[in-house]
Structure 1
Amino acid sequence: MENQTFRGDILILERLKVTSESVIPAFILLLLVYIFIVVSNLGLVALIFRSQGLQQPMYLLLCNMSINDVLGATIIIPHVLRDLLISNSVRYIHYIDCAIQAFCVHLHASASHTVLMIMAFDRYVAICSPLRYATIMTNGMVVKLSVAAWAIAFVLVLILVGLSVRLSRCRWIIFNPFCDNASLFKLSCESVLINNIYGLTYTVVLLGSSIGSVTLTYLKIAAVCVQSRNKMLNSKALQTCTTHLAVYVILLVSGFIIVILHRFPQLSDHRKVASILGHVALPALNAIIYGLQIKEVRQRIMTLFHNNKVALMEVK
């Protein structure tokens, strides 16, 4: 297929290796997970905006994560579902669609880090400067932090993908179930030194600032908790920070697994599955972790279910 010639901007995407017996179960399971991701995350956003008691900086910042999770799942899962139905056919994609998908894939990954960084800052102010929290974390500050998180991710990814789009193409096969930046610049026979330099810089800046800021933030929070003998303060810190740290650790571990698997070409099939799971498992887990571990959100959800149950009983 490498020698096959295509005119225009038509590319070939590599298929997932799924047995014929597994196609239908995989399709149904993935569809159900996608529905859960969309309904749970958008439902969480709607719940926060509908409930006056939940319109606090912490929950408003959480909306960024929920929206980003829906974006990340929607970029990949519908394409994978389609591919499962046409698993025996050659998969084609227009170059412009491939570039857009690559941009969205990296935007989702980058925004995951920048959003978690501003959420860590919110927890730092709430625990380390509780008396100043209301004056620092105003609605205006929440908007500024949210815009900054998305704008930084947008600019970094725009440059990343833009450097790949500028290259001429001599190949037409994407050795991946979906498009990403590496897939784009591997289509070219030109020198990709600039792409590699910026890609490394982009990774170091994003991960370095993310890991550094979150680590520093929680070290300061831990220091405050150790110095304070206030059990209520320590309990609040543990409750609100455990959720954030769990999501952050899951994000880092999944990212490192994909990077490590890139180093072993013989494990390419495992890498493809891991990269897809990163856009499936993380959004689903985030909705569960934030929806069930945060006390106020959990109480609101239980109240809604109770009211619906009572309404149904009255109808009967």
Structure 2
Amino acid sequence: MDSNMSIYSTLFILEAVDISPTYILPLFFFGTLTYCAIMFFNITLLLTIALNQKLHKPMYILLFNMPVNDMVGASALLPHMMSTLLSQNRSITHSACCLQAFLIHFYGTGSLLILGAMAYDRYIAICCPLKYNTVMSPNKLLKIILTVWTTDAAVVGSILALNYRQEFCTTSIADTFCNNPSLMKLICGDTRLNNYYGLSTTILLNCLVLFIIFFTYIHILVTCVSKRQSDAKTKAIQTCGTHLVIYLCFVFSALFALISHRFDNVSRYVRGLFGASVMIFPPFLNPIIYGLKTKEIQQNIQVFFCKRYFNHNK
């Protein structure tokens, strides 16, 4: 590519997916339906928390951030992917590619930080109940939420900023969507700094959140077992176990998708499948696991829809 060509007018070409024309329309409708379901579940959870004064507690306010983040992740991938699938136009502008990469990584990093904040909240509530109102006061809760989002934006922004204004030797992106590893492969110059910084930041962040989650969950389980309350013990094991499985599945899929770019022998289909699954399955399952299965939220959702139904039929 001509090095004098403006990066802003550059069109990148996303990797093709070998799909028979027979399956294009069914996949398009299935993907669109999946996206609509993700948006419906997450918006329902958002409205339920926002419109019910009883749910304006630290646990649910922290939970409020998860559907917002999940909708960002799903919206960064599915609408463009469905449009590409239907039109078979795999080109994307430099600006759109960078925006998609930012939103995708912003979603992934945000998921980890929000899970860490939620684990900390449950730890204080169960292990230090007398200090809960002090530790999780409105001001401190606001600081936690601001720290999550500012850290998320700063980490992702700094990683992608290293690719900014670089010369590209090719326009063929080695993935079905834009992300930092695929953008690095386009750069002509030395990308070792980008590589080392991105990997070290990813590993450090994952280790920090993993430590917080394991530390808090172990203390929660020990506290519940020591109380010798079978219902509390069962509830803690179910809650912590479910959250931990979801977290580990998310981290494994995300890390595999990121690290697999460093190895040429990894199938591009497997890499693409793991990468896309990170932005499809958690946004679909999170509102069910973290919200809709919570009894207090369930009751408020039923009240919310019953009111709308009766008001409509008056």
Q: Quick one: which amino acid aligns to residue 183 of structure 1?
A: S
Residue 225 of structure 2 aligns to a residue whose secondary structure is helix
Structure 1 partner of 2:154: 155
User: For 1:189-213, what per-residue CA distance to the aligned partner results, in whole angstroms no more than 9, with x for missing partners?
Assistant: 2111101110121111111101111
1:1-316 superposed matches below 5 A: 8-87=9-88, 89=89, 91-231=90-230, 233-235=232-234, 237-238=236-237, 240-259=239-258, 261-262=260-261, 263=263, 265-310=265-310, 314-315=313-314
Counterpart-to-counterpart distance in 1, 2:60 and 2:246 = 15
Residue 237 of structure 1 deviates from its aligned partner by 3.2
Counterpart-to-counterpart distance in 2, 1:190 and 1:257 = 25
Counterpart-to-counterpart distance in 1, 2:252 and 2:187 = 31
Residue pair 2:163, 2:183 contacting (<8 A) in 1 also:
yes
Residue pair 1:171, 1:187 contacting (<8 A) in 2 also:
yes
Counterpart-to-counterpart distance in 2, 1:70 and 1:211 = 23
Residue pair 1:10, 1:92 contacting (<8 A) in 2 also:
yes
Counterpart-to-counterpart distance in 1, 2:266 and 2:194 = 25
Structure 1 residues 49-58 or 243-252, which shifts more? Answer: 243-252
Counterpart-to-counterpart distance in 1, 2:131 and 2:45 = 28
User: For 1:145-172, what per-residue CA distance to the aligned partner results, in whole angstroms no more than 9, with x for missing partners?
Assistant: 1111111111111110011124221211
Residue 11 of structure 1 aligns to a residue whose secondary structure is strand
Residue 231 of structure 1 deviates from its aligned partner by 4.1
Counterpart-to-counterpart distance in 2, 1:259 and 1:205 = 15
Residue pair 1:225, 1:233 contacting (<8 A) in 2 also:
yes
Counterpart-to-counterpart distance in 1, 2:212 and 2:158 = 23
User: For 1:279-302, what per-residue CA distance to the aligned partner results, in whole angstroms no more than 9, with x for missing partners?
Assistant: 111100112212332111111222
TM-score, scaled to structure 2 = 0.90
Residue 173 of structure 1 aligns to a residue whose secondary structure is coil
Residue 250 of structure 1 deviates from its aligned partner by 3.1
Counterpart-to-counterpart distance in 2, 1:99 and 1:259 = 16
Counterpart-to-counterpart distance in 2, 1:260 and 1:178 = 16
User: For 1:78-132, what per-residue CA distance to the aligned partner results, in whole angstroms no more than 9, with x for missing partners?
Assistant: 1111011112x4x221112211211111111101101111001000000001111
Residue 221 of structure 1 deviates from its aligned partner by 1.5
Residue 223 of structure 1 deviates from its aligned partner by 2.0
TM-score, scaled to structure 1 = 0.90
User: For 1:125-146, what per-residue CA distance to the aligned partner results, in whole angstroms no more than 9, with x for missing partners?
Assistant: 0000111111211122221111
Residue 241 of structure 1 deviates from its aligned partner by 3.4
Q: Identify if the C-alpha distance between structure 1 residues 282 and 93 changes in structure 2 by more than 3 Å, giving closer, same or farther.
A: same
Residue 225 of structure 1 deviates from its aligned partner by 2.1
Any runs of at least 4 consecutive aligned residues in structure 1 with deviations exceeding 6 A, and if so which?
none
Residue pair 2:181, 2:258 contacting (<8 A) in 1 also:
no
Residue 63 of structure 1 deviates from its aligned partner by 0.9
Residue pair 1:167, 1:185 contacting (<8 A) in 2 also:
no
Counterpart-to-counterpart distance in 1, 2:134 and 2:234 = 23
Q: Identify if the C-alpha distance between structure 1 residues 302 and 239 changes in structure 2 by more than 3 Å, giving closer, same or farther.
A: farther
Residue 165 of structure 1 aligns to a residue whose secondary structure is coil
Residue pair 2:12, 2:92 contacting (<8 A) in 1 also:
yes
Residue pair 1:169, 1:189 contacting (<8 A) in 2 also:
yes
Residue pair 1:127, 1:237 contacting (<8 A) in 2 also:
no
Residue pair 2:15, 2:174 contacting (<8 A) in 1 also:
yes
Residue 229 of structure 1 deviates from its aligned partner by 2.1
Residue 236 of structure 1 deviates from its aligned partner by 5.2
Counterpart-to-counterpart distance in 2, 1:205 and 1:123 = 23
Residue pair 1:161, 1:181 contacting (<8 A) in 2 also:
yes
Residue pair 1:127, 1:233 contacting (<8 A) in 2 also:
no
Q: Percent identity?
A: 34
Residue pair 1:101, 1:179 contacting (<8 A) in 2 also:
yes
Give 5+ residue unaligned stretches, structure 1. Answer: none
